[in-house]
């Protein structure tokens, strides 16, 4: 199977052919994959070199000129390094654009922390009006990318090496309900789904699948949390990133929220993605233990209240 990044290159190359208002801005990363597209569209495939502030600033200028910029590099260099450019060159200018990252939280564990970006979504959460897509499969990445490019707003598409075994139908806005149960609503974000499904096998919980996390699907969470108001969010980036959004969705009812994700502490380990998932408690065994404990605490609490 191709990776999400492979699919991004193939899909964006086609979008450049199909849609003359699109422009792609690169800072060396993935440039080799776009050589053909660059030959076909020399004015709309722009590699600015290893210059990430210019990557975002130039994308902002392209948006001001009336086009639809797609900007791409590793998440660390796309969101974290030029963060003020993201904030001012799009939001403050009241323009739109599509940021597409690769690398995610630890797609290249042997590369170390310099190439890890678990905080990207939390950072974007400090800004207004960004839609955040976290696909869990290359097919979903293609669908969400096309959705993003067709619009006019500010969109972040977070691609990862991690992928679920099968693609789900994604709409670009709503969470999907995959299982219904009486216990907590477990929200699995993007590539966390396979582990969450394995972890919750046989548990009496609901499972929601989220590939568009901003805006947060309040209605789906409210409906799935039911009378008990227990929600678990399993995110492939910084732990607790969506806890506030879940709390806000349930602000008028008693509720508990457990946020699972990548720990804040720097691991200082290399190795493999699976080893990092286990270290952060995001493998199926760890998830099952943490979700079960949370569900049991809730059940005991409900029993005491009754």
Partner 1 sequence: MTNTALFSTPTDVRSDLSGDRPGASRPGSSPRFRDLGRLMALMTGDEKHGPAATSTLDALWVLYDRVLRVTPASADAPERDRFLLSKGHGPMAYYAVLAAKGFFPEEWLAGFGSYDSPLGHHPDRVLVPGVEIGSGSLGHGLPLAVGTALGLRAQGLTDSRIWVLIGDAELDEGSNHEAIAYAGPAGLEQLHTLVVDNASATHGWPGGIASRFEAAGWSAQTVDGRDHEALYAAFTAPHPGRPRAVVARVEPKNA
Binding site for partner 1 (CB under 8 A): 23, 25, 43-44, 46, 48-49, 51, 53-54, 56-67, 69, 84-85, 88-89, 92-94
Task: Report, in Å, the least distance between residue 25 CB and partner 1.
Answer: 8
Task: Report, in Å, the least distance between residue 210 CB and partner 1.
Answer: 32
Task: Report, in Å, the least distance between residue 118 CB and partner 1.
Answer: 26
160 SS3 class: coil
Burial 41-62 (b: 16+ CB within 10 A, else e): beebbbbbeeebbbbbbbbbbb
Write the DSSP symbol of residue 205: -
Question: In the complex with partner 1, which residue's Cβ is closer, 53 or 292?
Answer: 53
- The DSSP result for 169-233, as a single string, is ---SSPPEEEE--SSPEEEEEGGGHHHHHHHTTTSS-EEEEESEEES--HHHHHHHHTTTTEEEE
Question: In the complex with partner 1, which residue's Cβ is closer, 37 or 185?
Answer: 37
Burial of 304 (0-12, 13-18, 19+ CB in 10 A): exposed
20 close to 151: Cβ distance less than 8 angstroms: no
- Residue 189 CB-half CA count within 13 A: 31
Question: In the complex with partner 1, which residue's Cβ is closer, 25 or 99?
Answer: 25
Task: Report, in Å, the least distance between residue 161 CB and partner 1.
Answer: 29
153 SS3 class: coil
Question: In the complex with partner 1, which residue's Cβ is closer, 67 or 223?
Answer: 67
Question: In the complex with partner 1, which residue's Cβ is closer, 149 or 186?
Answer: 149
What would the two tokens of residue 33 be? 């994959």
Task: Report, in Å, the least distance between residue 29 CB and partner 1.
Answer: 16
Question: In the complex with partner 1, which residue's Cβ is closer, 59 or 261?
Answer: 59
Task: Report, in Å, the least distance between residue 36 CB and partner 1.
Answer: 18
């Amino acid at each position: 199977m191709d990776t999400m990044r492979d699919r991004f290159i193939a899909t964006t190359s086609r979008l450049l052919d199909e849609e003359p208002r699109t422009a792609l801005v690169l800072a060396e990363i993935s440039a080799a994959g776009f050589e053909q597209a660059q030959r076909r569209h020399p004015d709309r495939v722009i590699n600015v070199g290893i210059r990430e502030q210019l990557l975002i600033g130039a994308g902002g200028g392209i948006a001001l000129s009336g086009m639809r910029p797609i900007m791409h590099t590793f998440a660390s260099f796309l969101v974290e390094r030029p963060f003020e450019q993201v904030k001012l060159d799009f939001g403050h200018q009241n323009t739109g654009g599509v940021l597409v990252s690769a690398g995610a939280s630890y797609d290249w564990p042997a590369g170390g922390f310099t190439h890890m970006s678990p905080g990207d979504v939390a950072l974007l959460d400090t800004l207004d009006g960004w839609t955040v897509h976290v696909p869990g499969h290359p097919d979903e990445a293609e669908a969400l990318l096309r959705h993003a490019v067709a619009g006019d707003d500010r969109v972040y598409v977070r691609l990862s090496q991690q992928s679920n075994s099968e693609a789900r139908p994604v709409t670009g806005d709503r969470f999907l309900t995959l299982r219904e149960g009486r216990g907590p609503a477990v929200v699995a974000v993007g590539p966390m789904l396979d582990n969450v499904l394995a972890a919750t096998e046989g548990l009496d919980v609901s499972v929601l699948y989220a590939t568009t996390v901003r805006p947060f699907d309040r209605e789906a969470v409210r409906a799935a949390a039911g009378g008990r108001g227990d929600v678990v969010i399993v995110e492939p980036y910084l732990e607790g990133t969506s806890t506030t959004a879940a709390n806000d969705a349930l602000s008028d009812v008693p509720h508990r929220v457990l946020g699972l994700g990548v720990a804040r502490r720097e691991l200082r380990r290399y190795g493999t993605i699976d080893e990092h998932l286990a270290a952060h408690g995001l493998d199926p065994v760890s998830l099952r233990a943490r979700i079960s404990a949370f569900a049991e605490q809730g059940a005991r609490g409900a029993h005491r209240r009754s």
